[in-house]
Amino acid sequence: MRLVVVCLLVAGGFWYYSQKQGPGNDPGTMDALMQECMAKKRYAASRMGTSDVTASRECAEELNVYHEEGHWYAY
């Protein structure tokens, strides 16, 4: 019974820690988030007949990221 309680506490702690960390500064994760955001912005611009020139800048502001050495990083 104690082993079950300990396992639940460890699992809960790991879940809490991973939720607090968020996507972090993993370039792969941030790149994927930026690609998804820019695809949505480009689609919206194409549907409205406007330019999508500012898609990366708008997404960077929304996600609070910056571009360095070919990857996106969180501030």
Query: Does position 27 have pLDDT exceeding 70, yes or no?
Result: no
Let me know: does 25 contact 51? Beta carbons within 8 Å. no
Average of per-residue pLDDT values in the chain: 81
Query: Does position 67 have pLDDT exceeding 60, yes or no?
Result: yes
pLDDT bucket at 17, cuts 50 / 70 / 90? low
Task: Give the Cα separation of 39 and 31 in Å (integer).
Answer: 12
Query: Does position 19 have pLDDT exceeding 60, yes or no?
Result: no
- Say whether pTM exceeds 0.85: no
3-class secondary-structure state, position 65: strand
